[in-house]
Structure 1
Amino acid sequence: MNMVRRIEHWGDLHHPKWLDIIRIILGLIIFTKGIIFISSTNVQQDWIFRNSSFDFSGLMAVVLIHIVAFAHVIGGMLIFMGLLTRLAVVIQMPILLGAIFFVNITKGLSFLNSELWLSIIVFLMLVLIWIVGSGSFSADSWVRENNNRHQRYP
């Protein structure tokens, strides 16, 4: 746990302003993918039934799709706003790893597989934001400043 706190502290001290723009774009990408997931659940179900090496029942596939969509929509909004950013990023990481290794890699490792490359880039951006944090242009920063202001002036 000490190592995680040191990484968080280092990231809070070394956060350039342009990373806030990266965080906002990352939140929009994840939010958009969540909306796409919600709007095409039938396509996702068909893919799971055809290509899955796991034995998913119909209900299990529907639950999995809705959990991923919910996590993307809520996590994308939290990352976009910079609220509970590191928690939202950590929740997105297993989903993206699953997308990389179980979904996109089955379509082939070619430069034409744009979904695979998007998943890899988004995962690397998630790791970056997890390390450096939400930045100064975020709800986390605003909450932290207000807490410090109220603690100084009771």
Structure 2
Amino acid sequence: METVKNLNKWANAHTYQWLDILRIAVGVFLFTKGVSFLTNTQYYTDLIAPIKNLGGGMLFVHYIVAAHLVGGVMIVFGLLTRWAIVSQLPILLAAFLINFIGEMHVANLILSLSLFLVCVFFLFYGSGKHSADYYFKMQQ
């Protein structure tokens, strides 16, 4: 718990507006990806075909859409950002592995890897000073 407080103190002392814009952009991207998966079911079905027959594959399918929709909104507002990021990491790691092991789509591979790395950064950095987390902390 003390480590999280130290990370928050460091992040609040080193806050930059472009980092907040990056966090919001990541959240919007994840939310739109969740909407895309909901509306384009054939593409989504083809995408998850390698894991469909694994145990719990359909559970993972439903988890992806829910995590992208809810997590994306939480990341945009900076509300429980670290928890929202933690829910995204397995999905982004799987996206990277599917693009690396399966049919290699270089653009998707680079996108999933860069998004994974940005999310790992925000896992440590937190939501920053311009967020709901910071606002609620200051209300205490």
TM-score by length of 1: 0.78
Q: Following TM superposition, by how much is the alpha carbon of 1:81 offset from its aligned partner in structure 2, in angstroms? A: 0.5
Show the counterpart of 1:152.
none
How well do the aligned residues superpose, as a CA RMSD in angstroms?
Answer: 2.2
Work out whether residues 12 and 132 of structure 1, in 8 Å CA contact, stay in contact via their aligned partners in 2: no
Show the counterpart of 2:53.
55
Show the counterpart of 1:36.
36
Q: Alignment partner for residue 84 of structure 1, among 55, 80, 83? A: 80
Q: Alignment partner for residue 104 of structure 1, among 86, 99, 102? A: 99
Q: Following TM superposition, by how much is the alpha carbon of 1:55 offset from its aligned partner in structure 2, in angstroms? A: 3.4
Residues 1:75 and 2:67 are matched in the alignment: no
Work out whether residues 12 and 129 of structure 2, in 8 Å CA contact, stay in contact via their aligned partners in 1: no
How many residues were matched structurally?
A: 139
Q: Following TM superposition, by how much is the alpha carbon of 1:27 offset from its aligned partner in structure 2, in angstroms? A: 0.5
| Greater gyration radius | 1
Percent identity over the alignment is 37
Q: Secondary structure at 1:107's aligned position in 2?
A: coil
Q: Distance in 2 between matches of 1:82 and 1:133?
A: 8
TM-score by length of 2: 0.85
Unmatched 5+ stretches in structure 1: 148-154
